[in-house]
Homo-oligomer: A and B are copies of this chain.
Amino acid sequence: MGTKERRERERAEVREKILEAARELFVSEGYEAVTMRKIADRIEYSPTAIYLHFKDKESVLRELCDADFIALAKKFARIGRIADPILRLKKAAHAYTDFGLENPNHYRLMFMTPHPPIDKEESAVEKGNPEEDAYAFLKATVEEALAAGRLRPGLDDADLLAQTLWAGLHGVVALQIAKANDPWCDWRSTTARSGLMTDVLVRGIVRGEE
């Protein structure tokens, strides 16, 4: 009796179509453009049908967001094989800014928009697992660099270091997304900015002689 399975599959397909439509709207037109009614139009359902699959609009966006967190972590995982932790940090920095600059709308939702604290572990990302959690990857690499004595004396807190490195890269991406069109200052190229940031951060934390 495969009817139950078929029902579930069909349900999952509609769910997937909703996510797909939301993602397209989101990528091409930005956060504000994602409207329950527009999503519904795209998949030729009524707006309220979405509520049979998602609690509210926020849930739809958060699900997209979660998928992106995992995509980012996967991107990092591909770097994980590099032996030298400092070089690995540099490569990860490059991957991070690339990710943000290539997916500005996603990045904005992921890192630039305050969300209500994510209550339970209903999030799809498995915290602490470097394969799915990009922060865990970064912290693990910092710990390796620390253990190998590659960093300046006085630096010993892997979390603090990871958060600072992250913040530096985030600053480059976030300013680009929020202020790139602002003629306030003569913006240098994103590659120049992210390159110098990586350089400055690494030089700022490694032992002198490198």
Footprint of B on A, CB under 8 Å?
108, 111-115, 117-118, 127, 133, 135, 139, 152, 157, 159-164, 166-172, 174-175, 177-179, 181-188, 192-193, 196-197, 199-205, 208
Contacts and interface: CB of A to CB of B under 8 A. Distances in A.
Nearest to A111: B178
A114 B177 contact: yes
16 contacts: A111-B175, A117-B181, A117-B183, A118-B182, A118-B183, A135-B185, A152-B203, A159-B186, A161-B196, A166-B171, A167-B197, A168-B197, A168-B201, A171-B172, A201-B204, A204-B204
B114 A178 contact: yes
Contact of A178 (B112, B179, B183): B112
Nearest to A192: B160
Contacts of A167: 168, 171-172, 174-175, 193, 197
A178 B139 CA distance: 20
Nearest to A161: B196
B174 A187 contact: no
Contact of A175 (B161, B170, B175, B184): B170
Contacts of A160: 188, 192-193, 196
B201 A157 contact: no
A160 B205 CA distance: 20
Nearest to A187: B163
Contacts of A181: 114, 117
B163 A193 contact: yes
A183 B181 CA distance: 33
A174 B171 CA distance: 8
Nearest to A160: B188
Nearest to A176: B167
